[in-house]
Amino acid sequence: MEPEDDKNVLKHLLHLETEASALVDDAQAEADRRLSESETQCRSLHDQTYTAEVAKLEAAYLEEIAQVRENYKNQLDVYRSELLGRHPDEAAFGRLANQFLSERN
């Protein structure tokens, strides 16, 4: 081979190396873009799922609180009704009080 042929081969190889480097750079840029896009989509999906789960748990919590309050109110009403339905035996109380006080003297 002559020196001119060697020079042309070297130029061609350098040109191929430049093209390969450009292809690698383009591929890296595309990979970075796809990664960023996937990350954005995953973040959005996570946020939607998280928001839906929080709303579901919040609704269940509020429903349970309402049930507890209702149960408490019902128990209080039953207790109040029982108390109002009872009539004190004042005569028996008086006898018991007299007996107790007479034993103390």
Over the range 4-14, which residues count as b (16 or more CB within 10 Å of their CB) and which as e?
eeeeeeeeeee
Between residues 6 and 94, which one has the greater pLDDT? Answer: 94
CA 49 from centre of chain: 9
Per-residue pLDDT band for 103 (boundaries 50, 70, 90) equals: confident
How many CA atoms lie less than 13 Å away from 53 in the CB half-sphere? 6
DSSP state of 90: H
How many CA atoms lie less than 13 Å away from 104 in the CB half-sphere? 6
Per-residue pLDDT band for 7 (boundaries 50, 70, 90) equals: confident
Position 1 scores a pLDDT of 60
